Structure 1
Amino acid sequence: MQAASRPRARVPAGVAAGHPATTEVGLRVLEAGGSAADAAVAAMLAGCVAESVLTGLAGGGFATYFNAATGATTCLDFFCAVPGLDSTAPAAPMVPIKISFGGVPQRYEIGASSVGVPGVPAGAGEIHRRWGRLPWQRVVAPALNLARSGVLLPGAHARTLVSLAPAMLPGFGSAVYAPEGRLLEGGELLHHPGLDDALGILSAQGPAAFYTGQVGRLMLAQVQAGGGVLSARDLSSYRVLQVPVTAAPFGPYRVLAREDLNETIRTIAALPPGFSAVQLADTLLAYGSQRLGDTTNIAVVDDSGNACVITMTLGIGAGVWLPGLGVHLNSMLGEGDLIRPGTRPGERMASCMCPTVVLDSTGGLVMAIGSAGATRIRTALIETLTNVLVHGDDMATAIRRPRFHPVSADGVRRMHVEPGCDPEPFAGAGYVVQRWDRLDHFFGGVSGVGLAGAGGDPRRGGVGRLL
């Protein structure tokens, strides 16, 4: 007689995100019977309120969805598009600023000419249309309520705000992030006057209001007044795209995601069996780019085993706001290396974002995971995957472990390491080691839900919770 087959373990329902309020919103929607898509969209919109240092309604992103019933994995692209379909004159010059994370400087450009065609409203609507089961208004309502009340700013976000102040404070931003003449500190109330009205419009009129309706018209007026080339045709022609999903083996598992600018899947596929930290670092340097940036991530699994991972960004913000609506416009055109040679108006910009699912050998879900952090997304993801799948960590421990990140510039291979990460192997391999004095925003912001539990990244005030 054959022994009965052992039932496959199922990932518990849960949410992980970059702010306690974002996570709580997703959990409550799951509790109300929402699908992973419902909870992820609700959390995504809540993140536009609670995590506005990193994202917003005028940003863009990607979503990866795993359907437990069919085993299919789908990726949607709602990233920002290049404007200018109706341009007859060049854009006004952008405004150069300098941003620094932990002494690592990066040049950005902001202003109306840096604004790309936003994708967050369309993306939220398409994710909900495909996989949601609760009414649209029910999914938007939690974010609207947060916008009315305001949310507490985590200390990690307050530290990020210090770095991003040159982009966050121009115009209406000073009233949001420095309402008493100084930057908000951790534990203080973050409130965006008018953002509840913007979310009210989104709830009542749907995403179309941001493209062909009243919000879209206001966006056009603001951008064009500042010399940007965003046009009505740019907005009306914007569509969410379904993009190919690729896979790489990771031991007995399969990692599935889109092909991103940093080539995460190709990097994983190139790792040798039983790779060391130095071998991982060398492989990371063989692919991708070295750009800084800001994003946030949400991972949700529902009680049916479906998963939805969303990564989204505002760039660093253009310093241009929609009057009366508390919406900060994106600055994606100010990150010039995201526009690949030959990219034309109406086409998507490139991105390092890589919302990911991991499956076992039978096609069952092992984890839903993603990260913030531009070029550090790939590093943070692979190190966390290694901690969970190779070393056996629970999700929270895996995310909390100290990280390293290699950078190569001007012929110098430099290794950034957090406290607790052994620098000796890297120094012995010829890396110039730069030691950090704490776990830092620079090293990304992972959030994940899986068989190993749920976890959010303490570097960015993240929280993971199971239902």
Structure 2
Amino acid sequence: MAAGHPLTTEVGLRVLEEGGSAADAAVAAMLTSCVAESVLTGIAGGGFATFYEASTGSTTCLDFFCSVPGLEATRAAAPMEPIAVSFGGVPQRYEIGASSVGVPGVPAGAGALHSRWGRLPWTQVVSPARSLARAGALLPAPHSATLASLAPAMMPGFGAQVYAPAGRLLQGGDLLYHPGLDRALSILAADGPAAFYTGPVGRQMEATVTAGGGILTPTDLSVYEVLEQPVASASLAGSTVMARPDLNDFIITLGSLPELDVMPRPARAVAVAEALRSFGTQRLGDTTNISVVDADGNACVVTLTLGIGSGVWLDGLGIHLNSMLGEGELIRPGTRPGDRMASCMCPTVVTAPDGPLLMAIGSAGATRIRTALLHTLINTLVDGDSALAAIQRPRFHVVSDLVHAEPGYPEDELEALQKAGYKIQRWDRLDHYFGGVSAVGLAGAGGDPRRGGIGRLL
């Protein structure tokens, strides 16, 4: 089990110990992440899940990402509020406010995973997150650094009470507490995901967004459903890597690589950089990832996000609404109300040539998701690293002809990149910017120190 917060991992492990399946543990962990990792995600966000079923060898990708609102809307949305945030000194423009709120998918996604592959009672799976919401969770230092970057989106309205309760932004080790979130999770436990769509939480969400100038309608919420996506695959070092086709072309990028295991490391670095430069887009954002393998060999990988948060909260429920419409490039040409938005999120499973599961892996980090997954998979499948060592190893990320490199990345490889025409920007630390991988499998379990993650085995 691996995730982006020690408590998220602990809850998932506890559910596995109670006899839960990979899906049960993943659902309990994703709801816990909405409490402990609310700088990165939330119950009013969206995401994707990839489930590997050991008994059949089948892989299923579920889409519970946000959809575009406005079905049966009688007016246009009010203008969104532009803000500027910066990750590692890299500025990025976003828009927030009620008009940035998309139709959320996390409650429906949790319900779909549980109904298809869970075996514990629903209330038992929701209970750990509800209990944690009553007490609060300690904020990891990497999350506090992210909070500082996202303050323009996190602090409006009720956010100031959550993220600066004493008049200053929370620091690493401070208690993160969302007044009312335990009530929202109690409603989820008792009434199921429907409460967030056609029930009381959904009605409050629609009223709150409408009052702020957005166009989330009752129809948007009532027709929302979890979708299945096709499974794409590519080969790396003889293993099969499977995931959804994403906005940033991870599987296509992986499939374009030459045979890396026969190449010198400097030449390999250039080949990886060329593949990263040839495909995909560039965008910053915030996500978290959960990877679970159960005793039967089933795997569930969940990546979820709130965008950066809209600054709009549900009164009395401690729920921060998503800001997905504020990331305009996620809405592809021709997208209409009711359509699903695009995403770079890419929960992934890896199987051996003869079929058995090797790894469940995913990453946070918007367009750096592809970069982080690529480096980690090469480190494990080609170089034989453990999951933790592979995640901890320094990475580079390519933006056009510029290579962002973490400290400790081998100098001979950076020199080869320079000779190939790349400019090198050396960072002074392992940073949130470079993604947040969580992985579990035959190579062990690992969470990303860049985002306070942790992996553990039973």
**TM-score (normalised: structure 1):** 0.96
Q: State which of 42, 47, 52 in structure 2 corresponds to 1:56.
A: 42
Q: Which one of the candidate residues 353, 359, 366 is aligned to 1:367? A: 359
Matched, 1:459 2:445: no
Cα distance in 1 for residues equivalent to 2:314 and 2:133: 15
Equivalent AA in structure 2 for residue 296 of structure 1: T
For residue 431 of structure 1, report the CA deviation from its aligned partner. 1.2
Note if 1:25 corresponds to 2:17: no
Task: Tell me whether 1:433 sits opposite 2:433 in the alignment.
Answer: no
Superposed CA offset, 1:223-252 (max 9, x none): 000100100000000000011101101121
Structure 1 residue 189: Cα displacement: 0.4
- Residue 429 (structure 1) shift: 1.5
Matches of 2:75 and 2:211, distance apart in 1: 13
In the alignment, the residues of structure 1 paired with residue 246 and residue 10 of structure 2 have an alpha-carbon distance, to the nearest angstrom, of: 29
Q: Distance in 2 between matches of 1:257 and 1:316?
A: 24
Structure 2 residue aligned with 1:418 = 406
Q: Secondary structure at the match of 1:466?
A: coil
In the TM superposition, what are the counterparts of 1:248-327 in structure 2 within 5 Å?
248-274=234-260, 276-327=268-319
Secondary structure, aligned partner of 1:137: helix
SS at match of 2:456: strand
Per the alignment, residue 167 of structure 2 pairs with 181
Q: Does 1:339 align with 2:339?
A: no
Task: Note the alpha carbon deviations across 1:285-315, whole angstroms, 9 max, x for none.
Answer: 1111001111000000000000000000000
> Equivalent residue of 1:63, what SS?
strand
- Who is 2:389 aligned against? 397
Residue deviations 1:320-352 (CA, integer Å, cap 9, x gap): 000000000000000000000001100100000
Q: Deviations over 1:79-112 (max 9, x none)?
A: 0000001112110000000010111000000000
RMSD value, Cα: 0.6
Cα distance in 2, alignment partners of residues 43 and 277 from structure 1 = 35
Q: Which amino acid in structure 2 is aligned with residue 67 of structure 1?
A: E
- C-alpha deviation, 1:425, in angstroms: 2.0
Aligned AA (1:285): R
> Quick one: distance in 2 between partners of 1:25 and 1:384?
25
What does residue range 159-174 of structure 1 map to in structure 2 within 5 Å?
159-174=145-160
Match of 1:108 in 2: 94
| CA distance in structure 1 between the partners assigned to 2:74 and 2:317 by the alignment | 29
Structure 2 residue ranges without an equivalent (≥5): none
2:61 to 70, 75, 90: 75
Partner in structure 2 of residue 219 of structure 1: 205
Q: CA deviation at 1:435?
A: 1.0
Q: Percent identity?
A: 71
- AA aligned to 2:122 is W
Q: Which residue of 2 aligns with 1:137?
A: 123
Q: Deviations along 1:56-93, whole A, 9 cap, x unmatched?
A: 00000000000000000000000000000111211000
Q: What do the CA deviations read for 1:150-204 (whole angstroms, capped 9, x no partner)? A: 0000000000000000000000000000000100000010000000000000000
Deviation readout 1:371-407 (Å, 9 max, x if unpaired): 0000000000010000001111100010000010000
Q: Distance in 1 between matches of 2:381 and 2:139?
A: 33
Output the TM-score relative to the length of structure 2. Answer: 0.97
Partner residue in 2 for 1:6: none
Distance 2:102 2:147 in 1: 22
Which letter maps to 2:444? G
- Give unpaired runs (5+ residues) of structure 1: 1-14
Rounded to whole Å, the distance in 2 between the matches of 1:388 and 1:267 is: 17
SS at match of 1:362: coil
